[in-house]
Amino acid sequence: MNAGERYPGIPDVRDGLTRQERIVLYVLHQTQKERGGRNVPTAMLWGRVCEHFYISPEDLSLMLARLGAMGDALKPRTPPQDE
């Protein structure tokens, strides 16, 4: 048993990611490669992540937003600034 399995909520000292965050990013990357680099629908990602561990759809969306993995369409728009 490694430290990630004993302490799943503790961030790794190397990059600050928890075990669950690392799995989400790995699954996201693999799915993007399968889709030819296109965006991955959150519902598809959720289904694949749940093969590794359970996370609610809301918690997955919050995690993606925290990791900066949300698509441009979901990011808040900032108005252009006049110079």
Q: Is residue 28 part of a domain?
A: yes
Domain that holds residue 54: 3-11+18-70
3-class DSSP state for residue 67? helix
Q: Is residue 55 part of a domain?
A: yes
With vertex at residue 56, the alpha carbon angle to CA 64 and CA 23, rounded to the nearest 5 degrees, is 50
**Structure pTM?**
0.73
Question: Per residue in 55-64, pLDDT tens?
Answer: 999 999 999 9
State which residues of the chain have pLDDT below 70. Answer: 1-5, 8, 70-83
Tell me how far apart the alpha carbons of residues 3 and 33 are, in angstroms, rounded to a whole number.
29
> Number of structural domains, the chain?
1
Q: Is residue 66 part of a domain?
A: yes
Q: Is residue 36 part of a domain?
A: yes
Please give the mean pLDDT across all residues of the chain.
Answer: 84
* Burial of residue 25, with CB atoms counted within 10 A of its CB: 0-12 exposed, 13-18 middle, 19 or more buried: middle
